[in-house]
Each structure stands twice: as C-alpha cells, then as structure tokens.
Copies of this chain bind each other. A is one copy, B any other.
Amino acid sequence: MQQTYINQLANHVDQEVTIKGWLYNLRSSGKLMFPQLRDGTGVVQCVVLKKSVAPETWEALQKLGQESAVIVRGAVRADERAPGGFEVDVTQAEVVQAVDGYPITPKEHGTEFLMDHRHLWLRSRRQHAILKVRHTIVRAVRDFLDTEGFTLCDAPILTPAACEGTTTLFEVDYFDDEKAYLTQSGQLYNEATAAAFGKAYCFGPTFRAERSKTRRHLTEFWMVEPEMAYATLDDVMDLSERFLSSIAARVLAERGEELKILERDLTKLEQIITPFPRLHYDEAVRLLHEGQERGELETKFEWGGDFGAPDEAYISKKFDRPVMVHRYPAAIKAFYMARDRERPELALGVDVLAPEGYGEVIGGGERATSLEYLEQQIDEHHLPREAFEWYLDLRRYGSVPHAGFGMGIERCTAWMCGIEHVRETIPFPRMLYRLRP
C-alpha cells in the first residue's frame, strides 16, 4: 500500500491514506483511542473507534508502548483543533513491532543519558526540529554560494601539515609509519582552488583536538569556507553579511514550525539583515574600556589581546544584529593574513560576532600575497618550510589579492535555533569524552 507522509496530508483530505510510522503517544477513553503517530515528517493524531476496527486490532493497539512500529489506514479529516490541522479516522491497523520499555520517556532525563541514547533521542520533537534547521542551513549555504558563482572544491581531510598551530591536531596512522593529521581548515587549499576557479569553497568536517568542554566546542564539526581571488577585506565583509542574512531569511521562511517547537524568538532572526555594523578593533577596545569604567566588565581589556567570551558578549550587546570587528592585531592572527598597509601591526582580518552571546560565527580576511613576507612568517612561526612549499607556489605563480572566511555550521545552527549547547546541533556529536554512539 502506497505510503502517505504526514506532511502531505493536506493533499489528501477526505481520502483514504496509509500512514507508516511509530507510536508517539496513546490516549484512550473507553471505546475511543487516540494514537499519535510520527513518521519522520510530522506527527498526526489518529482516532480509533472500537466499533470501526476488528476486535483483535483494538486489542493489539491498546497494548502498544511508545515507538511501536504501526501502519494505519483511514480517512484524512481536516480539523482546526488538531495539532497539524488533520486527523485520521482509522479503519485498519497493522502492528509491525510492538515495543515495551522505550528508554526515552516524557519524564526528564539527564544529558549523559540522552547523549548515550543519541540514536533514539534524534526521534524526539526538539532534536528533530534542530536537525531540520541544520539541514536548511546547509542547503541555504550551498544555494547562496552556488548562485554567487562559487565552485565547490572539497579540501582534503587527511593532511600532511597543520594550518593553524600543531597542538590541537588529531594524528592518524597513514601507511608505512607515515603520519597524517585531520584537517582543521581547508583555508590553504582554498587559496589554490580560488586561483583556479576565481571563487571556490570547501564544505566538510573539520577537527580540533582541544581539551575544552565549553558549550561552543565539538572535536568534529562542519565548516564552510568560501575564498575569492582578486578580493579584499571589504569584499569578505560584504559577502559575510549577505551570506548570514540569506541563511536567516531561509530558516525563517522554511522552518517556522520547527522554530515554534524550539520556542525561538523570531524577532532575533528577523533582525539579521544587511548592512551589519563594521567596528574597527580599536573601537571595540574602546567599548570594552567604557564597559569596565561603568563596572559592566570586571577586568580591563588590554589592547593587543583576543576577546574572551564576556568581551564578545559585551560588544555584541551594543548592536541589534551581528557586528563585524575588523583589523585585529596581527600578532594574534594566523600567519597568512595580510597586513593593513597604513598600520602594519594590524591584520586585515574580520570576526563576525553573533548577538545573544553566540560569539564568533565567522572568521576571515584578506591573505598575504608576498612570497618574501610569507617565507618570513613561516620561519617566525617555526612552521616546517618544506611542507608549505606548494602553498608558496601560489605566491610565485600569479599571486593576487584574495580573501575568504570560514563558518562553523553547528555554531550557526545553535544560534539560529536559539539553543544553549552545540552538542544538539549535529546528529552524532564528538567531544572530549564523547565518541559514542
């Protein structure tokens, strides 16, 4: 029997349909039963009249526990009072598997328990909603970049060298005692593909072996990194604001139901529109100094340092939408960043800080073009020169100004969903003490 998905019921009002799903909830009162079924696309309330079904069907349904697999057949009835707007008057039912003792019950469970049962927890309404939003974000990201003329060029996961530092790398046994490392960023590879395609992006999993346990960190997360040849820091800021506002608009347009389940304040997402304020690092530091003078920040921020989470939160609270802080001290930024021509102590980098304390969602900037400068940077950072020879080739053969950024998908998903912890934003999170299931 052809299956009708619950999110398609509107097209089948007053028709007989077959729904194949799992029992989400079951209420019964005498000669009436109200099984709620979920099928992955939605939840629908069914109505079973004792006299409308075979006695053995009535018996079987009554005993079912949560997540029992059930196929029902019946007519779709529009009903404004029903959640979702439809009910199904069941005439036939088949129990595929009767379940007893499903571990995740409506009662409160601890986080560790839920994470241990992630393979089942994904069926819960809230987790389902979050991953639907994640899918929409991935889709919005690819649509945006593809429409803007970027070519997808996936960067390798297994790399011979580190992009940013070596202490937070996962080491892999390659062949014949050779060591490889899991990528932390496709950045350097993107610079090669941008020179080949004009505009290119990579979009894949990246890895950080950080022993941190904050709500913003995963050891494995997905990152999208666009890169443009013949582009500057300003181009990156222009791209960033269009990029983020297009994602927010898409999530608002397509995931209204899920945002409702998540009790998301929609006005926060509606505010993510261009232009975003652009704040020089000096200005940001001035704001922090003000904050400290007013007693709103505990310690005095020293010019030259990187912002901590409280600093980022303080700065972003001054604005109604994401704020782009640019021109950080070069000393705290990656070796490949271009310098400000007027103030060479500053790097042409930008961090986009999300509102509501979500912190840095985008980091990017303009890359250095000079071979000599990069050779010197590689020496100063004590990086193995030989591993970067191919990268230096990009400055030997047709070096042009170029720029790009990276955005972590899970942090963006947490922000869009308005949830506390990134561990709920990826199907199977990997963290310091979490490699299962």
Stretch at the interface among A190-198, A308-316, A350-358, A376-384: A190-198
Taking a contact as CB atoms under 8 Å apart, the answer to whether A393 and B195 are in contact is no
Look across to chain B and name the residue whose beta carbon is closest to the beta carbon of A394: B119
Q: What 0/1 pattern do residues 22 to 51 of A give for CB contact below 8 A with B?
A: 100000000000000001110000000000
Taking a contact as CB atoms under 8 Å apart, the answer to whether B170 and A170 are in contact is no
Of the candidates B7, B68, B135, B192, the one whose C-beta lies within 8 Å of that of A122 is B192
- Within the assembled complex, what's the spacing in Å between the Cα atoms of A146 and B142? 13
Taking a contact as CB atoms under 8 Å apart, the answer to whether A390 and B436 are in contact is yes
Write out the residue numbers on chain B whose beta carbons fall within 8 Å of the beta carbon of A122. Answer: 153, 192-193, 196-197
Of the candidates B397, B433, B435, the one whose C-beta lies within 8 Å of that of A99 is B397
Taking a contact as CB atoms under 8 Å apart, the answer to whether B99 and A396 are in contact is yes
Stretch at the interface among A55-63, A174-182, A269-277, A278-286: A174-182
Q: What 0/1 pattern do residues 193 to 225 of A give for CB contact below 8 A with B?
A: 111111110001101010100000001101000
Q: What 0/1 pattern do residues 112 to 127 of A give for CB contact below 8 A with B?
A: 0000011110110001
Taking a contact as CB atoms under 8 Å apart, the answer to whether A158 and B430 are in contact is yes
Write out the residue numbers on chain B whose beta carbons fall within 8 Å of the beta carbon of A123. Answer: 195-196
Q: A128-B196, A189-B427, A195-B22 are in contact. Are A172 and B178 (CB under 8 A)?
A: no
| A395 smallest CB distance to B (angstroms) | 8
Taking a contact as CB atoms under 8 Å apart, the answer to whether A68 and B398 are in contact is yes
Look across to chain B and name the residue whose beta carbon is closest to the beta carbon of A121: B196
Of the candidates B20, B127, B211, B398, the one whose C-beta lies within 8 Å of that of A69 is B398
- Does A3 make an interface contact (CB < 8 A)? yes
- Does A155 make an interface contact (CB < 8 A)? yes
Look across to chain B and name the residue whose beta carbon is closest to the beta carbon of A137: B152
Of the candidates B67, B149, B170, B220, the one whose C-beta lies within 8 Å of that of A397 is B67
- Does A139 make an interface contact (CB < 8 A)? yes
Taking a contact as CB atoms under 8 Å apart, the answer to whether B152 and A135 are in contact is yes
- Does A437 make an interface contact (CB < 8 A)? yes
Taking a contact as CB atoms under 8 Å apart, the answer to whether A398 and B99 are in contact is yes
- Does A400 make an interface contact (CB < 8 A)? yes
- Within the assembled complex, what's the spacing in Å between the Cα atoms of A142 and B369? 36
Taking a contact as CB atoms under 8 Å apart, the answer to whether B135 and A151 are in contact is yes
| A203 smallest CB distance to B (angstroms) | 9
Taking a contact as CB atoms under 8 Å apart, the answer to whether B158 and A220 are in contact is yes
Look across to chain B and name the residue whose beta carbon is closest to the beta carbon of A159: B435
Of the candidates B41, B120, B160, B391, the one whose C-beta lies within 8 Å of that of A198 is B41
Write out the residue numbers on chain B whose beta carbons fall within 8 Å of the beta carbon of A209. Answer: 175
- Within the assembled complex, what's the spacing in Å between the Cα atoms of A230 and B41? 13
Most buried by B among A172, A193, A196, A394: A196
Taking a contact as CB atoms under 8 Å apart, the answer to whether A160 and B120 are in contact is no
| A154 smallest CB distance to B (angstroms) | 6
- Does A156 make an interface contact (CB < 8 A)? yes
Write out the residue numbers on chain B whose beta carbons fall within 8 Å of the beta carbon of A420. Answer: none
- Does A97 make an interface contact (CB < 8 A)? yes
Q: A172-B171, A173-B170, A390-B436 are in contact. Are A40 and B197 (CB under 8 A)?
A: yes
- Does A432 make an interface contact (CB < 8 A)? yes
- Within the assembled complex, what's the spacing in Å between the Cα atoms of A194 and B22? 12
| A204 smallest CB distance to B (angstroms) | 6
Write out the residue numbers on chain B whose beta carbons fall within 8 Å of the beta carbon of A229. Answer: 20, 39-40
- Does A333 make an interface contact (CB < 8 A)? no
Taking a contact as CB atoms under 8 Å apart, the answer to whether A153 and B195 are in contact is no
**A-B pairs with the 8 shortest C-beta distances?**
A40-B198, A390-B437, A119-B192, A122-B196, A40-B197, A20-B230, A156-B428, A67-B398
Can you list 21 contacts pairing A with B, beta carbon distance less than 8 Å? A40-B195, A40-B229, A67-B397, A99-B396, A99-B397, A117-B390, A117-B393, A119-B192, A119-B394, A131-B197, A138-B152, A155-B428, A156-B220, A156-B428, A157-B182, A157-B207, A157-B220, A158-B170, A158-B207, A160-B437, A171-B172
